[in-house]
Each structure stands twice: as C-alpha cells, then as structure tokens.
Structure 1
C-alpha cells in the first residue's frame, strides 16, 4: 500500500553513494493498470444511472494509460535518511479509436520538491481534525471534503479559525500582488498577453476561493481606485464560484457598484461552477426576484437563465460527486421548491418575452 493506493509499485535503489554527501538515489514507479484500490476524487457531473453513455465513458477510460515515476535524492543511509530532492513525472496517454492513422494524445505533468533549510521545533504536533479516525498510508479525501464544504457554505459554516485555509495567512497579500502583476501585463499593448499571464489569473482564482468575505472586502477596499484591478478581481470571483465569492458579487450588484453589462457578464460566468450548492442557488434566486433585477430586461434574463442552469447542475440525474460519500446536494424537497419558484416566475410573466425566458430557465433546470 502506498500514498497512491494499493497498486503495483517498483522501487529501484542506486547504492552507488556519493562519499562526500552520502547521497543515494531511489526511483519509484507506479503501474495504475494493476491497482486493487485507489483514493477516489471526482469533480464535475457524473451520471447516477448506468446507460449507454456511461458504458461508452468506461470504454474511453480503459483507453487511458497513466503512469507516475518518482525520483528521490536521499541523504544518509537506507536505514536513516533525509530527502534532498524529489522529482515527479506523470504521463497520461489517451488512445483514440483510429490509433493507426492518428497519434495518441499525450500529456505530461512535472513537479519538483527541493530541500532548502531545517529548523528544530520542540512543541508537540497539534491534533488534527481527523486524528480520531483510523489512519492509513493511502491518501485521505477528508480534507477534500472539508474544502468542498467551504466552497458550498463559506462563512455560514466556517470561521477564520476553522476554515480549511486558515493556515494560509498571506492570501490577501498574494492576491494584491497578483492583481498588480496582471494589471501591468494587460496594459502592455505592444507584446500583448503572455502565457504566464493566464497562469497568474488561474492562481488568482485559486486564491480567492480560499478567502472569507472579510478577506474579499479588505482586498476590494485596497484596489477600488484601480479600474483594471477591480475588473480583474470581479472576473476572478465569478470564475471561482464559491459561496463567499458569489455573496460578494451579489452585494456589489445590489449596490449598483458595477455596470449592467458587467453584471450580465458575471451571471454568464456563474454557469458550470466547480462546486455549486443549494445555498448558492438560493442567493442567486433572491437576487433574481429583487426589484433591481426585475426592472432590467438584460439583468433579469441573465439572472434567471443562470439560476436555472445552476439548479440543473445539481438536481438533474447528472449529479455532482466532489469526493466519495459526498452528501446529497439536491433533495427531493429542494428540487420541488426550485421548480415552484421557476413556475411562479413563468405564471407571473407579463410579456411573451418574459415567458420565453422563464421557459428557458425551466429547461436549464
């Protein structure tokens, strides 16, 4: 059993030590085609019921070959050693149906871990949240579940102290630095946007997903004078799609602190979120029913279509599994409640155009 699961694993030890540093190398190769058990983490839609599409997807998964190789540079002896450097190479090969005429799709992921410094601590190790549970060498999905709950419910369930990202103290500073870098990069009209810029935008999205509403308010107050940075932050918040980021965006829309065009763009980005929840849908529906949105054709159309799409993502048969044993996000009662709200919007529509929008929202759901 290893961190990756109960898989066929080969270790190769190079005993030719360096006399000066007493270093030796170990290579660890994992064959995922021979695994009895692996930790499962699923993101995105997954059918609950078996059908022809599910069987086709299983066939496609069988055409995926993946392998991982770790290269360790260890210091000391095989009995007592420290890690100096670790390199990881993961390769994913997808064999297309007409492999004879087309090359297989190949993706390689590289990673590196380097020892920098060491310090001695005498304090006892803090108790972990899951210490009472039976430990295993295999990777645990408990933290992933906690992270998803934070995306689902945000500040309504977590505080600054018990948040899964509480130990990342410099989130606000890192976000401010990324916004400054992105602002300078987008202002370069000669060279245009470089590949590194898109990677920084992804880093920005990942960081704002970790933030509380208090963190987001602090960041926003610091960049209010910069129109470019403010726009970049709004885009990142919409793509992040957590309860806290949606709460912040709705507050901005209600306060009319962004233009109608920008609000419509925000609604469009809220479709296909990584972790949609009924709490997020409730917030969006409340906004859709507000006088501010109802008085604007563009905002009303975008809001109701987005709400219907979010409902469909968690309430259709294509249920979302964030991790194993994930709680049900759309109960029968919740589904009926959402359906009644959408039907009420259809019945209360005053024009044919409003009825069409309501029908499309119901169709999305």
Structure 2
C-alpha cells in the first residue's frame, strides 16, 4: 500500500517539477508551500509514527551531565477513607541518594556512565505530609557517611550501547560488584525509550482513521530492571502547527509496565509459599506453548485452563505493584546544546520514574482493600544539567568481557541464599563467605542486651529490646559454624547461673528462628547432647518450620536429629522432630514454589535442583520405613502424620493400601486418609477413586466412611461424583452416616467459600 501511495505521489509531483528523485528533501518542501494540503497528505500518510517521532540520541565526543535524585520510602497503609484516598501512617523510613551522572559518548552508539559527587541520607521519623515532588529535599535527611570502599565501588564507571533509545549491552568494571551494578542499572533504566514500534503495530495504527495526531500509544515487550514485561508507551507530541511546519517537535513520553504479562520477573521469594491457587487453575501449565497445545488437544471451546494465568494468580495473592515513567524529549532549538551536524536531533531533557509496591495483608478482618499493608515507594529523577564537547576525553575504564542487560542481577543475593542453604559445605573459609562483618561481636552484644532486659522485673521487657532479638537472628544467619560456637560459649560465660540459663534459652530460640544450615547443625548438636530440657528442645524444633530457605543439606541435619538415640527416647522431642521433617520435605518439594521459581530469573538456578526425583524417593523411603518399623498405634499415627505433612505425590499407592487394610485399627485408617490432605489439588481424581468406594461400602467402619466423605469433598468433585453421594445418602441404612452426609452437604450448599460455591 505504501509503495502504491509513493508511486501516485511521484506522478503528481512530476506534472509540475519533473522527477521527485532529482530534488533534495529541502527543495521538495520549498516547492510544496503553495499546496499545504498535499504536504499534509505526504507527511501524515507516507511518514509513519516512528518516523515522525525521533528517538533521543547522544552525539559523539560530547559529555552529558545529569543530576540524579532517588529515594526509597517504606511505610504502612493503615486505612482507606470514604474518598478512596490512601491514608498513610506518619511513620516513614526513607533512604535518599543524590549524585551527578556523567556520560561520555565516544560514538553515537557507545557511551560511558560514571557516578560522582555521591550523597546519602536517611530519615526514620514522623512525616507530616505526602510530598508532591518525586524526592524530598536533601536538607530534611540525616547525612550518612558511607565507607570509602563502598564509595569507590559506586564511582566505578560502566560502558553501554545506546541504539534507537534502547540500552542493549552493558559492560561493568572488572572490580565492580552486583549491588553497585544494580544502582547503575537503575540510572540506565531511565534512559531507555523504545520508540521504534514493530511494523504490525504501525500498520494497525495507520489503518485507524481516528488516530489522534498529537498523541498515540503502543505496547512492546521490553527488558527493564524489574523484568522482561509488556510495556505500554503513550507519546504526546508537539502542537499540530509545529508538525505542519515540518519543525522538530519536542514531546513527552509516558511508559508503564504490565507485570501480569512478564516472561521474567526479578523477584525473590523467601519462606513458606502456602497459598494454594484455585483448583481448576492449579493443574494448568505456566508455559503458553504448552497451554495452547492442551487447548488444541481438548477439541472443545470449553477448556478449564483458558482463563487461567498462574503467574497472574500468584502475583495478585502476594504483591500489588506499579511502575510508571515520564520523560521529556527536546528537539531542535529547544535542546541544551544544539548540534550543528544534526539540527533536527532530539535529546533526553529529563525523566522521572515512580514505583509502588504494596504487600497485601491476608487477614480478612483488616479494614480496606489493603488493610494494614506495607508499602514501598521508590522514586528517581534524572535531569540534564549541561552538555559540552570534550576535546581530550579521559581513557575509558577497563571493563569485563561479559555483556550484561538491564535486568536486575542478584548475584550477591544468590550467594547469601547459598550460604543459608549449604553453610560451610559450600563456603569452607571466611574469605569465601558473602558476609565480611564482625558478626560474633555484634551478635554477643545483642544477646547480652536481651539478657539484661529480662532482669528488670519491675518494668519487664520493653518494646525496644525486641529489636535486639531481630538483630541477633540477622547476625546469626551471617555466621559460620565456628562463629556460632563462639557465640554459644559467650552465652555460657554469663555471670550467674540464672543469666547463663536465660542466655542459653534465648540463643537456642534464635538458632531455631535463624534456620540456616549452620544454625540447624548447631541446634541439632545441642539437642542431641541434651544441653536443654525436653520442652525447650521440642519448642525449638517446631520453630524450624519457618526456615527462610530450606535445602537438602538442612533436611539431612533434621533427619539425623530424628534418628538420634537420645531423641528417640523422648516422645515429645521425637514427635516434634518427625513432624517438622515432613513439613520441610513438603516445603522443599511443593508444586507451587517450583512454579513460582520458573518465572523468577535468579532463584531457579539453585532451588530447582533441590527436590529431584531421587531425593523425593529417599524422603519417601525414610518416612515409609518409620511407619513399617512402628509397633504401636501411636507410632503409626505419628509416621502417617509426618507422611501427610510431606505431601509426596508418589506415596498415594502406599496410603491406599493402608486405607483399604481392614486389619488395621480404624484410627490408623482414618489417619491414612488424613495423610492425603496435601494432595487435594495435585491428585483430586486419584483421591476420589480411593475414597468414593470407601464411602459407598455399607460394610465399612462408620468413622472411616465419614472421614473419607469429608476428605473426598475437599477435592471439589465433579457433578457425577456428587450425584453418587446424594444417591447413596437416600439409600443409606446407617443413620449416623446419613445424618453426617446430610449435614455436610447442607453446610457446603450454604457456604460462602468460593471453592464450595463452585462445587
């Protein structure tokens, strides 16, 4: 179509001025002054939107100096008023950074970025009102003196390629570290403007006769610091008169990220992920290609996965996020320094990026849509100060050969995670540890402060002293095994027997809350050596269910603790140990965590390999051996409870045998049915096939039938299964089973639970 239009234009122009190809573009526009309609037609219909909008560019041998301001603000969203305006708590914790950004371009494509004149500030107090500006004035912050080593890392330069408004390749200094690189990524992220839409988008816009010539938008996939997501652009151009006069027009750009459509998200997830997605969506594949293939195989228009987006579902459950960027691009004479070689070029004058992250409160009784939720607001502004030509540029920094992207790098965070998971096994010496701080001294000080606070019987423990417990746990997580042993010895060296006992108890509780491999190893040794009483040991073991990052190495320590002779001789400790072991197996192998890791670009590298098929089989054998070796009802119930906590899908056939073994006590059979509780969403049909015959058999034990029905209904059975239950209820001779079935079905019918309503 464009070729036909161009040929027609050639014919029209040839009637008065010969071939268009013999004239320059300036001569052409000068001969067209008497026919503005024709010029308008050519400019609007032949030029695409991408040709009318010029991407910002940087000129060779020029140095661009930008002022950079950024801050991160944390606070609570306490409530929502009648006007739906969020009222924030006055208590805010804010970190502020200010810097001068120098960018030198050795060519129009290749640039170097350096951060200079760094200033940091902090604020943790009552904030009177919400500022209308992006960043609060630097004067309101308490200055922070950062170590010289930290400043030197931040001042290391990086090189990058800037092509058509995109940062396509980054090379950092060889001595730079990941946290410093991420700060520089944040600055480069504010330069990126993907104004070159693909041809399909331009064709769609060109076919719309109602397109606003002063503003238009498009959506493209784009890599930013936060992930690889669909990004929507809206461009507000200069006045219509500016365009009709063929002048270079300045314009504003607004871009927003759709986090529900991302192929990668730079997220980190710690601890238990216990929220279960809707049953119909839990079995749907995350990969779009697999999903499309399943729809084709289904052969019908009604596919239960058609409306499911597992990543979107997980996102809505955990975090509400929003990122918007606004930028001003100035062209022609409006630039800071106009380039004579390119009078129509454009340059980035300023850009501002605001991100809001709201961690939702899961409590139903919390008021408002967010309740008492935590909000993190980040804001950054980049504004052009000067542009000057550099006659003798400084030599470029020596960079690594690895090409990086804008995507957030969590290399240091991953090292910390591996330290949590493997401890001294992977970091055998102090130099290899990601933590270099004097943790022993600081942890001992925090422990002593807690012990001293307990000695004040009149006032009790003050609120500020609880901070010391968090501080102690944080320091313990950074410690190597030898450091932990030294802290334990310091706890035993307290003055007075009572202070020693208090220090030991606090230290044991802190080890359990710490939950790293080194902490679990030392805690297991303390319990095995009977250095604490039975109740304290059981309580500490139960605390291990809240591990920050479980691993096979940690489970190995817990397994050895379960099989220890001293633990086996103490029923309370043994029960806590086996139940905790089963819960940790489930946390390591559960379906939802592994799916979430597939969408995170970093954590999958070290976590996905944890629960391999071989390891899962090993854990299953350990739990089944515990059941087979049991000689009493209590021991068998304990083994089945641990097996149920583990929720291993391959144990279903063995549990089925126990359920149908009528020689077993009915309590054991009921507990075997309960062991299926973590498999409701993974194997609903298998559970129905096991339990429906149990319920329909009139000769079965009443308790087994009733509990089997309760478990069966939690799998959200199909209407055909529900019909069989109703039919059996009408024909049921056992009054207890009939009454229980009627009451259960009535409660489900009246339930406000969405899952029950769907069934």
**TM-score scaled to structure 1, two decimals?**
0.72
Distance, in Å, in 2 between the alignment partners of 1:161 and 1:150 is 13
Measured after TM superposition, the shift of residue 185 of structure 1 is 1.9
| Other-structure match for 1:184 | 452
| Other-structure match for 1:329 | 610
Distance 1:257 1:68, change over 3 A: farther
Measured after TM superposition, the shift of residue 142 of structure 1 is 1.1
Distance, in Å, in 1 between the alignment partners of 2:459 and 2:441 is 27
The answer to whether the 8 Å contact 1:237/1:249 transfers is: yes
Of 575, 585, 588, 1:311 maps to: 585
Distance, in Å, in 1 between the alignment partners of 2:69 and 2:487 is 49
Distance 1:302 1:188, change over 3 A: same
Pairwise mapping of residues 107-256 of structure 1 onto structure 2 (< 5 A)? 107-108=374-375, 133-136=402-405, 139-158=408-427, 159-165=429-435, 167-168=436-437, 170-225=438-493, 226-256=500-530
Residue 641 of structure 2 corresponds to residue 360 of structure 1: yes
The answer to whether the 8 Å contact 1:41/1:324 transfers is: no
Measured after TM superposition, the shift of residue 161 of structure 1 is 1.2
Over aligned residues, Cα RMSD in angstroms? 3.9
SS in 2 for 1:161: helix
SS in 1 for 2:546: coil
| Other-structure match for 1:102 | 368
Distance, in Å, in 2 between the alignment partners of 1:319 and 1:34 is 28
Distance 1:89 1:136, change over 3 A: closer
The answer to whether the 8 Å contact 1:45/1:318 transfers is: no
Distance, in Å, in 1 between the alignment partners of 2:523 and 2:359 is 40
Distance, in Å, in 2 between the alignment partners of 1:274 and 1:141 is 17
Measured after TM superposition, the shift of residue 56 of structure 1 is 4.1
- Larger displacement relative to structure 2 (337-346 or 272-281): 272-281
Of 260, 266, 269, 2:540 maps to: 266
Question: 1:102-152: CA deviations, max 9, x gaps?
Answer: 3643534599xxxxxxxxxxxxxxx99xx6643456531111111111111
How many residue pairs get aligned? The number is 306
Measured after TM superposition, the shift of residue 348 of structure 1 is 0.3
SS in 2 for 1:303: helix
Distance, in Å, in 2 between the alignment partners of 1:315 and 1:301 is 22
Distance, in Å, in 2 between the alignment partners of 1:317 and 1:180 is 42
Distance, in Å, in 2 between the alignment partners of 1:337 and 1:60 is 33
Residue 358 of structure 2 corresponds to residue 92 of structure 1: yes
Distance, in Å, in 2 between the alignment partners of 1:132 and 1:364 is 48
Larger radius of gyration: 2
Distance, in Å, in 1 between the alignment partners of 2:462 and 2:518 is 30
The answer to whether the 8 Å contact 2:321/2:355 transfers is: no
Distance 1:210 1:12, change over 3 A: closer
Residue 563 of structure 2 corresponds to residue 341 of structure 1: no
- Larger displacement relative to structure 2 (46-55 or 177-186): 46-55
Measured after TM superposition, the shift of residue 11 of structure 1 is 7.1
The answer to whether the 8 Å contact 2:321/2:356 transfers is: no
Task: Identify which of structures 1 and 2 has the higher relative contact order when contacts are C-alpha pairs closer than 8 Å and 6+ apart.
Answer: 1
| Other-structure match for 1:35 | 257
Distance 1:205 1:94, change over 3 A: closer
Distance 1:187 1:318, change over 3 A: farther
The answer to whether the 8 Å contact 2:271/2:548 transfers is: yes
The answer to whether the 8 Å contact 1:89/1:108 transfers is: no
Measured after TM superposition, the shift of residue 259 of structure 1 is 1.0
Measured after TM superposition, the shift of residue 94 of structure 1 is 5.1
- Structure 1 residue runs of 5 or longer lacking an equivalent are 1-9, 14-22, 70-87, 112-126
The answer to whether the 8 Å contact 1:267/1:306 transfers is: yes
Distance, in Å, in 2 between the alignment partners of 1:253 and 1:261 is 11
The answer to whether the 8 Å contact 1:155/1:244 transfers is: yes
Measured after TM superposition, the shift of residue 90 of structure 1 is 6.5
**TM-score scaled to structure 2, two decimals?**
0.36
The answer to whether the 8 Å contact 2:491/2:507 transfers is: no
